Amino acid sequence: MKLRVSCHLRFQVLEASVLILMLRPYKGCQQWINREIYTIKPAMPIIESTDSYGNSCQRLVAPVGDFSIYTSAEVMVTDSIDVAPGAYFVEIQHLPDKVLPFLLPSRYCESDRFGDLAREITVDALPGYDQVSKINNWVRDSIQYVPGSSDYPLSAVEVHLQGHGVCRDLAQMAIALCRSISIPARLVVGYLHNLQPMDLHAWFEAYIGDRWYTFDPTQSDLQGGRVNIAFGRDAADVSIFHQFGSGCLLNSMDVRVDLLDN
């Protein structure tokens, strides 16, 4: 299907502040960016680079005053998401080198602390896809999804204690559980068609069989219509905007996803 996605951020900048943005849709993962707009007002020098995961990052110094970022894209994406019950667990010694970082604990996914819980959740599951399904279902059932409930990232340990979280929190809880039983998992930030309420979204992928598969603990169905913006170990790696200091106030954020044709 063809989607038009957009995100409009408006800030009030009290003190000149460095921002690192990740707002370009990802190039190179089964989605085709047909048209893209990226406007920053006022205009200013922007330094663009690609991180070790292939995400596009923009660095800039936001000047004092009103500051806005508008990004939009027309993207061809798949209508449905591949599922693969029974896909096998990949022994660590056979994982591609590039997948290894997604096996390690990271800032918000303390996988070194969840081995017992993960083994309990997956006790009856076949190694591989079915383990991840059990984890995904467990997170959906155990951690209440409350959109808009947290402003700054919590770690999996904190989310587990708290019992509720935003999409990112649920995804990171699931990632920590997967890694703790040696299944590589990564966070995806992007757009999802028909998300309720509309917002930027986060879900996760697990490496099983011979590729990455998509899971989303916040949604009962694994719908298609997903536009990937960035991949990373967790929200420390992939933040749509990362502010250094506290000089920037986000006044509004307007996210849209429209179906152009199917």
> What is the rounded distance in angstroms from the CA atom of residue 102 to the CA atom of residue 237?
12
Contacts with 213 (C-beta within 8 Å, 6 or more apart), sequence order: 82, 83, 84, 87, 129, 132, 205, 206, 207
Binding to a copy of itself by residue 54, rule CB under 8 A? yes
Binding to a copy of itself by residue 92, rule CB under 8 A? yes
Q: What is the DSSP letter of 179?
A: H
Burial of 50 (0-12, 13-18, 19+ CB in 10 A): exposed
CA-based torsion, 37, 42, 45, 50: positive or negative: negative
Member of 38, 68, 81, 145 binding a copy of itself (CB under 8 A): 38
The residue among 52 and 196 lying less far from a copy of itself, judged by its C-beta, is 52
State the minimum distance, in angstroms, from the CB of residue 260 to a copy of itself: 12
Query: Pattern 195-234, binding to a copy of itself, x per CB under 8 A?
Result: ----------------------------------------
Binding site for a copy of itself (CB under 8 A): 18, 20, 24, 27-28, 32-39, 43, 46-52, 54, 56-57, 59-61, 76, 91-93, 97, 100-101, 104-107, 109-110, 112, 152-153, 182, 236-237, 242, 244-245
